[in-house]
Every structure is written in C-alpha cells, then in structure tokens.
Amino acid sequence: MSETLIGKRIPKMDAPDKASGKTRYIQDLEVPGALHAKILRSTQVHARIVSIDTRAAKALPGVHAVITAADVPWQRPIGVGKDHLPLKTDRVRSLRDEVAAVAADSEAIAQAALKLIRVEYAPLPVIATTQQALAPDAPLIHPEPHGADSSAHLKVAGSPVAFTGKPDNVAMTFDYAQGDIAQGEAEADVVIEDVFRLHYVTHCCMGVSGVIAEFDPNGNLLLYSNTQVPFLHKREFAELLGIDPARIRIIQPPIGGGFGSKLDIYPFEPIAIFLAKITRRPVKLVFTREEEFLASPTRQPVLLKLRSGCRKDGTLTFRAVETVHDNGAYTSWGATTPFVMMQTISSLYRVPHCKYHTMAVYTNNPYAGSFRGYGNLQATFAVEAHMDKLAEAVGMDGLAFRLKNAQDPGEITPQGMHFKSCGFKQCLTTAAGRSDFLRKQAENRARWSDPAPVKRGIGVASMLHVGGGAKIYPSDGCGTILKLDDFAHVTLMTGASEIGQGSETVLAQLVCEELGLPLSAVTVVNNDTDITPWDVGVHASRTTFIAGNSAIGAARKAKKKILDAAAAKSGKRAEELGLSGGFVTSASGERLFELGKFLRSLHFSDKADLVMTTFYYEPPSRHQDKQFKGDVSAAYAWATQVCEIEVDTQTGIVRLLKVTGAHDVGRVLNRLGIEGQIEGGIVMGQGYAITEELRVENGVVRNPNFRDYKLVTAPEIPEMDVSFIETMDGEGPQGAKGVGEAPAICIAAAVANAIHNATGVRITALPFTPENVYRALHGASEPPVWNAA
Amino acid sequence: MADIERYKTPTSLAEATEILRAGNVTVLAGGTDLLPQTQAGRVHFQPTLMNVRRVPELQGIAEEGAVVRIGALVTITELLESALVRGRLGILWQACDHFASDQIRNAATVGGNLCNASPAGDTLVPLLALDARVVLAAKPDGAVQTRRVPLAEFLLGPGRTCRAPTELLAAVEVPLPPAGFAGEFYKHGTRPGLDIAAISIAAGARRDGAVLRDVRIAFGAVAPTVIRAPRTEAVLEGRAPDAATLAAAVHAALGEIQPISDVRASDWYRRELIGNILKRVLTHACQM
C-alpha cells in the first residue's frame, strides 16, 4: 500500500507561482486590441441627475465611447434584489453610483475623459442611518420604477426590466420562530437584554475587482472575470443582455482573493460589457484601490437587540432577537445574512423558544454583500456576550454554562438542522483546557483593582456554521470530469473555483488518494465554463465538501473501470485488485500492471476505450421551508476560540496576544492548507474585532485607503494554538467538513468577553479601536440604543 | 494629468539652486510624500521636476563643534544606522524607529519630512525638542547663499513652511544636548508601524539630583504644526517630578495644545492621550 495523502502537509499547488510573482492575475492579462474603461461615479450621496454632458469627453482623442444610461435603454436591474441599474438613470442613491463610463486607448486617457464629463445634480435629503430611513416622513430611496423609459421596457418578456420601486425604505424582512417565547420568558429565572452595534468592514482583497469583456464576430460573449459563481452569473449576464446563456463563456484568471465579495454581479461588469458591445472591441476594466474601497461590497452593519433567559440551573429557556440591517442603497447578499444569523440564534446552543425578526433597510450608504461568515460574526458577537452574562447571573463559570447548553451529536434542532457529527463539547473542553481558561479568567478578574494601567483578559466564544454546503438554491451540487491519459496523467475538471482557499490542491489530493497516484500526476482545470462542469459557486464553506465528494465520485468510477479491465486481463476478481503507487496491485500488494502502460494497452486494444468519467454530487440536504426550517447542510462545523488580550486603560489599545482554537473540521485533509486557512481566518476576525472599520459618515467613506483603513499588520498577529477535532463526518469527503468561514466568526465575541474579563467593562459595539475602547472604559461613549421601533 | 516638461538632475548645490532660481520647480528627494500627494491630486507638478538625489552637499551626518549637521538627503534608515544619532540624539533615533515601514525609511529623507511640514511629522517632534534649525540655500545673484531658521519659525502650518520657492532645504542642524540629557519619543497610533500619529510626544531632560533640568517637550498632531510646550517645560524645570508636579505639567500642556477631530482621533481623545502619555513618558524619563 502506498502511504495515504490524507492529513499530510501539502503545499498549495499555486503557491510557488504566487510567491514568485509569476501568477497572471486579471491585471496582468493583455487582450490584443483591448480598450481600457473607467467609471464616472456620483459626487453626490443622494440626488436627482438633472443633466449629463459627455460632448467634451467624447471629443478627447483616444476616447472610443462615453456612455450613460441613455445609451443603454435596454439595461436591466441587477443583483440579488434586482433593484439596481448598472448605469443610473434619473437619480443617484450613494456616492459609489455609476453615472457614466468611458472606453479609451489607455487608462490615462479614460481617466482624463472622466474629468470632462459634466453632470448637474439636484441634491436630495441624505438618509445616513436606518433610524432616519424608518422615520414616518422619511424620503424614499426607491420611490418609483427605475429606468430611462421603464414603462415601455416593463413589457418586454423575460426577467423584470425595471425595478418597480418600494413604498417604504424596507428592502427585506425575515421572521423566524420556534416554541413559545412567552413560555420561555415565564420559565426563565434570569432575563437579560442588550443592544449591540456591528460596524462596516470590507474584504480588502489583494487583487482588486476587474473584468475583461469581449464579443466575437458572432456575438458570443467571452468574459475574463474574478467571479466566485461563474455558472449562475452566465444566466444573469444573459438576462441582462437579452441573449442565450449558451453564448456566454466565463474564464476566471487566478483570483486575488474573494471572501464572498465576488458572489454577486456589480455594475462594473455590465458596464464593461456595454462598452465592449458598443465599441466592438475587447474592454478591460480594473478598479483602483480607492475604487475598491468605495465601490466593492461591505459586511453588513447591524443593530441587534437580544433578549435571553435561563433557569437557575443554567438551562437556556428562550432567545428573542430583533435586528435592523443597514442595506445601503441597493440589495445584495448582505440583506440575506439573516439566514445564517438565525441558525446561530436558534441552534448554536439548545434553546427551546426563539423568535427572530429582521429588517434590512435602505439608506444612502454603501451596500453590503456577502463576506466570510455571512452574518454569523454579528450574531455570535451578541449570543456569546449573553452566554457570559447569563453564566455570571446564575453563578456558573462560563465553560460549565456553555457545556450545559451545548449541542450533542444526533441532535435535530427545532429549526430542523441535524447534527449528525458534532464535536462542539470537545471543542469547548480542548480550547479551555489548552489555554488554562478558568484559572487565567479568575486571576485576571482578581486584578481589576490593581493600579497597573495595562490589564490582561481572557475570553471564550464558540460558533456553528454550515460545513456540508448550504442548499440555498434548488441544487447545491458540483460536477467533475476526470480524464486519465495514456501516461497515467489525470486531468481533473471541476466546477469549483479556486479563490486562494486551496481547493485545487485538496481536490487533487482526494483524487490521488483514490487512484494511488502522486499529486504531480494531476492537472486541475477549474476556470472555464466551456470546459468545466456545473457548480453553484464558491460560498458557504462548501467547496471541499461538495466538490471534494464530487471529485471522489468521479475518481471511484475511474478506478472501477480500470480495475474491471485489469480483472479481465489478469484473471483475478476486480474486488481483489487495487491502485497504489502508480500500479494496479493485487490483494497481496503485488504490482500487476504499471498504470500508464495499462491505460495505453486499453487505448490500443481491439475494444479500445478511454478512462474518462463524470460525477455529479448533490448533498443530502434540504432547502428551508417558508418558515426557514430545514436541514440546509449535509454537515455542520463547530469551533471554540479562546482569546487572550492586553488592554492599556490609559490609551484604549487592545492587543490580541494569543488565540487558542479548537475546530471540529471532520477530518484534516491537507494539514498545511487547513492551518493556513484557520490562521488567516483568525487574523480576519482580529481585524473585524480590533482594527478595521470602513468609516462612513453621511454616506461618505472617510478612509478609502490602507493608511486609514487598518488591516492587521504582521507584528500584531497573535500566537496561535489550533487543535483539530476530527469527528469523521459520515457524509464528508474522507470525513472532512467545510471550514473556510469558521475561523473568522468568534474572534470578536471572544475578544469582547476578554475585555470584560480584563476590565469589568462590557462593550457592545464594534470595533475595539483604541478610542472606542478608551471611551467605553472611561464612561465617555454612547452605548448602542434600540431606535428602530 | 501631470504636466512635467523638464526633468533635472543637478549634481551640485550651485546647480540645484540655479534651477530653482529659474522658477516653477517641484523638488523630488525620496518621493514618499510627493508621489502619493500628486497622484491624489493634492499637489500639482510644476513644469520642472528636479531630482536632488545627486547633490553631494545635501548628504551626510557630521558632528561640527557642538552641532550635528544632518544633510537634507539623509534617509530615515541612515539616521537609524548612525551611532551619533543613536548615542546623542536619542529621541530623534526613537522617532525614526516609529517611522512608517522599512521600505519607506529607505527612501524618505529628513529634508522631505521637514518640508512636508505635517503636524504629525515623526522627525519634526524630536527635532523641535532638540532646538534644531534648518539651513536654507538659494542663489539670488550668482552665488549660493544660506540662511539658518529655527525649526519653530520654519513651520507655518499644515504643509506650509517659510521656505521660498527659490530656496532649497540643505540641512538640519541640531545642537548637541547637554551631557546626561535623556528622553523618550512616544507615538500613539492604532498599530505598531505604518501609521500616522494620532498624537506624539518628544520629552527629554537632565537629572540633577532629585530635580529635572533642561526640560524639553514637543507635541505632534495636536496643533496646526508640531509645537514646543514652553509652559509645560517651565512647570517641570528645576522641580522633582512628583505627582503634584506631573499633574501641574499635564494641566499646563492641555493649555498649550489645540487638537482637532479628524479620521484618526477626536479632539477629546487627543487631550486625554496627551495627559496620560505625558505622565507616562516623564515617569520613564525620570527613571533613566
């Protein structure tokens, strides 16, 4: 038997090229004859567009096209809410809004042309907060159908051509309930209520957004795109253009980071397509870093009121949640984060009675999209603060209180989630044990009255997240095509996109494990919709689980085909044969045929055949019903993280010193890969908790640069001690679960609990930047209040 | 778009000042402020771009009598590597250790940092505390002439100095502080490096038995320019730094600063920090 690849430390296949600067990102792609495009964005947060004069820009030498909404009367609303025209017609609703666009011979000429476009605006009142948006006399953000002459185009068949408007500023609402909340309150001995405020952050992908659009002479569209969802976006682009989706091909160059930001269609993509169509030239549009800050999506800011209760013995009885989400001016995935938030509210711990109500409210702020963790950071922040407070109220330690209410394997929650494998309690005891949590917590607390200005704190938080896909579409599947050539080289064609998470390495590994081949025998093709089979996209921590099971399925079919042929040839039974070390082997490990030679012999035989297989994996999960109940994932991931911090009470500076994490990952497939993913996630969670904030004031982003938007830098990265709890999930590929989002989710909650342990002050608003913390410690801040009545 | 018509690379101070005399010149040294500012459209290139990196008179760190002369082109890295700076101008050395990143320190010059005249400029605060003066060179009528201006008079406001467009900042001169002078530079940002100061303090003194002598205190990012704090210095001069004196010093300091609220900090928080950190820095200084 050759040694297993599972659990080994395997460098990512794309790492050498990326580390040595050889990877060709979309910025590096030069398409012959391509024009360069730039977008003119609004200078007003909320205004009517009175007039746009593009004559001077059009007259600039080197300019090939200047377009406004008037040039594309056939454009359709895009995005999750279909409330968003790529080029704005009669009004702008946020500072990022696209008013005009230029295609020119160079970026510099396009930029110069933007300056020659004259736009006259008539300002409208700015709605800067959800409170203003919900006021009875608030101006409407979407008062009427969009569209230059939408009345005519509304009649066109197909998807809606114009958004019909909204009679109020509420974009979406979500309501969920289980049990009887009144009974839960009645049964509680302790009831607490707090309001939490979660802030704006953005993804900060190293690779900024970009697209190249090109039509061939037959009108087929080729898009080089950084999208995370190529197959679903083919349909959306087709609807937008009114063409057959079959005429669209999407190629994804290596993507410089996604984290959810590339899960929706944004105006720049249709705009590049419009320009390519009008100029009949390829058009390349790549953001500047400033534009990336202003015009790519954010994590959703949330105001959250949580009411929780438990019995004297520590048993949770109910949880009631109301949230208001700042939707920004348009609706993208951010509005749908309640899907995930309500899972944490209802099912992270056992709570018999739950009620959850959310409104996503239109404002003139930047609009929120999907971001690693997808609402779970916000929900976990509130829930884990209450776990500490309730424990204290009933006189239990935080660990015992959590263990008392933690989920066990086999549980089916009232929301319908079935935890077939569940290592939650091992996560809690492992992280607490390895960090010496209880002893340090007591010691820190005893030092509250010490005069030293720098205090130490320790805090714990846990999380539940989908780990076996998420059935938010009718299918949650992924296809694989596997081709073995006559030299035993394997081409793995998968629908799963690589966005830096290491999927191609792990998929190659799973295939090699089945076929007994080294990783060097595999080429992964994962970036061309004309070649790769269907997939719903990179999201919901689903790729290893879904695409992994799909790759294993295709590999097992190939193996069966090879072994059946080998059985016929050797006279042995196929069940006695195996694949190992590049050979067909017997039950005793004897090498019968070298695989390459054997495949050649198949090709050249009378009954010539190829080993080429396909497999489509659909996880055994269910779409939620209208009450948001259902087992949406084939597996669920768990984690506990303990954060140790230092707070300087004279400056408010919080330093994250150490994170002790325990993650139920099902099984470790690539140890190096999962360590990297978890460490990176911890740092992303650290940024959310302590350093990062997109400062939006009256709709204006004040810090669209890395000088003032503080990503975590190398010296700030904490010591990490990460343990893997291997629960060997029965449905997972080799027992693994998805963990892409998990590590970012509970850091902010654990840091908040640690600050309380250090100082006795509980801060319910993020981020924990020095001034915010200093104000809270010195009673000079305004705690969040519920103002969304 | 930038309209640079000529690119000049003088190789002597005489040549450089001659080019300046002709007018309409943008001076380029390290470029770490100039490039981001021009790209952001806050500064516009003049028709002549003059790169002064090859002017030998602007180079080098030298001890001349009781004065350390630091050429305008000396980079932050060179200051960090100088034993003289580390040994005798400790608060300047500490400020360089808080300055941006290694890459920027390799390019950024002390002359550029001075001419950029940021109220938060990292080297400006210790240089002001050290009574530095700048040397300005011009060639009004055929010969290079220089004038010396105390740093406090050189800095007029955010981004504004008394340097005439025909003048070049050639060097900064720092009188050697008295023997036994020690101090601390403190920069408050939200992270260990690559940050703009929300406030900064350079404080130094000489211990004379129980009391402090030659007290020098300067603040950054709490006024339109970096500022000295003469009343705070006076409170501390000749006194033992006990709790009452420190409280009086903080009281004086809060009367000398005029912080604003911006994206980095509120005025209230800046005041709190000046009070808390001044006490901390002085306590450290007294333990040396």
Residues of A in contact with B276 (CB under 8 A): 650-651
pLDDT digits (tens, 9 = 90+) for A252-286: 999 999 999 999 999 999 999 999 999 999 999 99
- 3-state SS of A539-587 is CCCCHHHHHHHHHHHHHHHHHHHHHHHHHHHHCCCHHHCEEECCEEECC
**What is the pLDDT averaged over residues B266-273?**
98
Residues of B in contact with A651 (CB under 8 A): 188, 273, 276-277
Q: A700 and A607 in one domain?
A: no
**Residue where a domain stops, chosen among A598, A617, A636:** A617
**What is the pLDDT averaged over residues A459-484?**
96
DSSP structural state of residue B238? T
Q: Do B269 and A650 touch (CB under 8 A)?
A: no
Of B188, B264, B268, the CB nearest to A651: B188
Q: Do A650 and B276 touch (CB under 8 A)?
A: yes
- Single-letter amino acid, residue A483: K
How many domains is chain A built from?
3
Of B192, B273, B280, the CB nearest to A715: B192
- Residue A95's pLDDT is 96
Residues of B in contact with A713 (CB under 8 A): 191-194
- Which positions ≥6 away from A330 have C-beta within 8 Å? A79, A81, A83, A84, A93, A94, A367
Domain membership flag for residue A186: no
Which residues of A lie inside 8 Å of B (Cβ-Cβ)?
Answer: 108, 111-112, 650-651, 653, 691, 695, 702-703, 707-708, 710, 712-713, 715-716, 769-771, 774-775, 778, 780
Smallest CA–CA distance, residue A655 to chain B, in Å, is 9
- Residue B288's pLDDT is 59
Q: How far is CA A755 from CA A11, A382, B191, in A?
A: 37, 15, 18
Residue A491 in this model has a pLDDT that exceeds 70: yes
Residue A156 in this model has a pLDDT that exceeds 80: no
- Residue B285's pLDDT is 72
Residues of A in contact with B273 (CB under 8 A): 651
A146 pLDDT tier (thresholds 50, 70, 90)? low
Q: How far is CA B242 from CA A222, A451, B207, B282, in A?
A: 75, 17, 13, 10
Domain membership flag for residue A196: no
Domain membership flag for residue A177: no
Residues of B in contact with A112 (CB under 8 A): 1
Q: Domain of A610: which CATH number?
A: 3.30.365.10
pLDDT digits (tens, 9 = 90+) for A233-251: 999 999 888 889 999 999 9
- Residue A161's pLDDT is 58
Of B1, B191, B276, the CB nearest to A108: B1
Report the greatest alpha carbon distance in chain A.
89
Rounded Cα–Cα distance for residues A360 and A337 (Å): 10
Q: A570 and A668 in one domain?
A: no
Residue B40 in this model has a pLDDT that exceeds 90: no
Of A770, A778, A780, the CB nearest to B190: A770
- Residue A362's pLDDT is 97
Cis peptide before A409 (omega within 30 of 0): no
- Residue A153's pLDDT is 42
Residue A352's Cβ-count burial label (10 Å; 0-12, 13-18, 19+) is middle
Residue A150 in this model has a pLDDT that exceeds 50: no
Q: A604 and A492 in one domain?
A: yes
CA-closest candidate to residue A77, choices A153, A171, A167, A139: A153
- Residue B2's pLDDT is 53
Which of A60, A294, A650 to mutate to probe the B interface, most B CBs <10 Å? A650
Residues of A in contact with B192 (CB under 8 A): 713, 715-716
Q: A613 and A729 in one domain?
A: no
**Residue where a domain stops, chosen among A570, A602, A617:** A617
Tokens 């990196």 found at:
B53
Residue A16's Cβ-count burial label (10 Å; 0-12, 13-18, 19+) is exposed
Residue B134 in this model has a pLDDT that exceeds 80: yes
What ipTM does this complex have? Answer: 0.95
Q: Do B190 and A651 touch (CB under 8 A)?
A: no
Q: Do B191 and A780 touch (CB under 8 A)?
A: no
Q: A277 and A157 in one domain?
A: yes
Averaged pLDDT of chain A: 95
- Residue B29's pLDDT is 98
Residue A45 forms beta bridges with which residues? none
A609 pLDDT tier (thresholds 50, 70, 90)? confident
Q: Do B277 and A771 touch (CB under 8 A)?
A: no
- Which positions ≥6 away from A616 have C-beta within 8 Å? A477, A478, A479, A480, A533, A534, A550, A553
What does the angle CA A767 – CA A769 – CA A775 come to, to the nearest 5 degrees? 100
Of B190, B265, B266, the CB nearest to A710: B190
pLDDT digits (tens, 9 = 90+) for A79-116: 898 999 999 999 999 999 999 999 999 999 999 999 99
Residue A160 in this model has a pLDDT that exceeds 80: no
Q: A600 and A493 in one domain?
A: yes
Identify the three-state secondary structure at position B89.
Answer: coil
Q: Do B280 and A650 touch (CB under 8 A)?
A: yes
A603 pLDDT tier (thresholds 50, 70, 90)? confident
Smallest CA–CA distance, residue B173 to chain A, in Å, is 31
Residue A159 in this model has a pLDDT that exceeds 70: no
Q: Are A511 and A497 in contact (CB under 8 A)?
A: no
Q: A287 and A314 in one domain?
A: no
Residues of B in contact with A653 (CB under 8 A): 190
Residue A296 in this model has a pLDDT that exceeds 60: yes
Q: Do A774 and B269 touch (CB under 8 A)?
A: yes
Smallest CA–CA distance, residue A707 to chain B, in Å, is 7
Q: Do A769 and B273 touch (CB under 8 A)?
A: no
Domain membership flag for residue A277: yes
Chain A nearest-CA residue for B266: A771
Residue A157 in this model has a pLDDT that exceeds 80: no
Full DSSP string of A89-126: SSEE-STT-EEEEEEESSHHHHHHHHHT-EEEEEE---
Residues of A in contact with B188 (CB under 8 A): 651, 770
- Residue A608's pLDDT is 77
Which of B37, B38, B118, B191 to mutate to probe the A interface, most A CBs <10 Å? B191
Domain membership flag for residue A546: yes
**What is the pLDDT averaged over residues A680-703?**
97
Smallest CA–CA distance, residue A400 to chain B, in Å, is 36
Residue B159 in this model has a pLDDT that exceeds 50: yes
Residue A452 in this model has a pLDDT that exceeds 60: yes
- Residue A166's pLDDT is 87
Q: Are A316 and A309 in contact (CB under 8 A)?
A: yes
User: Tokens standing for A270?
Assistant: 């249709």
Q: Do B1 and A112 touch (CB under 8 A)?
A: yes
What does the angle CA A775 – CA A777 – CA A782 come to, to the nearest 5 degrees? 45
Between A and B, how many CB-CB pairs are < 8 A?
47
Q: Do B188 and A780 touch (CB under 8 A)?
A: no
Q: A145 and A275 in one domain?
A: yes
Q: A532 and A427 in one domain?
A: no
Of B1, B191, B265, the CB nearest to A710: B191
Of B191, B196, B266, the CB nearest to A771: B266
A154 pLDDT tier (thresholds 50, 70, 90)? very low
Q: A443 and A317 in one domain?
A: yes
- Residue A2's pLDDT is 54
- Which positions ≥6 away from A227 have C-beta within 8 Å? A233, A250, A252, A262, A497, A537
Residue A622 in this model has a pLDDT that exceeds 90: yes
Smallest CA–CA distance, residue B117 to chain A, in Å, is 18
A610 pLDDT tier (thresholds 50, 70, 90)? confident
Residue A374 in this model has a pLDDT that exceeds 70: yes
User: Count of H helices and E strands in chain B?
Assistant: 12, 14
**What is the pLDDT averaged over residues A17-33?**
96
Q: A274 and A230 in one domain?
A: yes
Domain membership flag for residue A3: no
Domain membership flag for residue A198: no
Query: Touching check for B261 and chain A: CB below 8 Å?
Result: no
A435 pLDDT tier (thresholds 50, 70, 90)? very high
pLDDT digits (tens, 9 = 90+) for A195-223: 999 999 999 999 999 999 999 999 999 99
**Residue where a domain stops, chosen among A591, A617, A643:** A617
Residues of B in contact with A691 (CB under 8 A): 190-191
C-alpha distance across the termini of chain A, in Å: 67
Query: Touching check for B272 and chain A: CB below 8 Å?
Result: yes
Q: Do B277 and A650 touch (CB under 8 A)?
A: yes
Residue B69 in this model has a pLDDT that exceeds 90: yes
Residues of A in contact with B193 (CB under 8 A): 713, 715
pLDDT digits (tens, 9 = 90+) for B205-231: 999 999 999 999 999 999 999 999 999
Domain membership flag for residue A197: no
Averaged pLDDT of chain B: 95
Rounded Cα–Cα distance for residues A40 and A258 (Å): 25
Q: What are phi and psi of A450, to 5 degrees?
A: -60, 145
Q: Which B residues 167-226 touch A at CB under 8 Å? A: 188, 190-196, 198
**What is the pLDDT averaged over residues A48-60?**
98
- Residue A605's pLDDT is 81
Q: A320 and A388 in one domain?
A: yes
What domain range is A530 assigned to?
Answer: 15-21+477-617
Identify the three-state secondary structure at position B156.
Answer: strand
Rounded Cα–Cα distance for residues A323 and B15 (Å): 68
Chain A nearest-CA residue for B271: A651
Of A695, A715, A774, the CB nearest to B263: A695
pLDDT digits (tens, 9 = 90+) for A717-737: 999 999 999 999 999 999 999
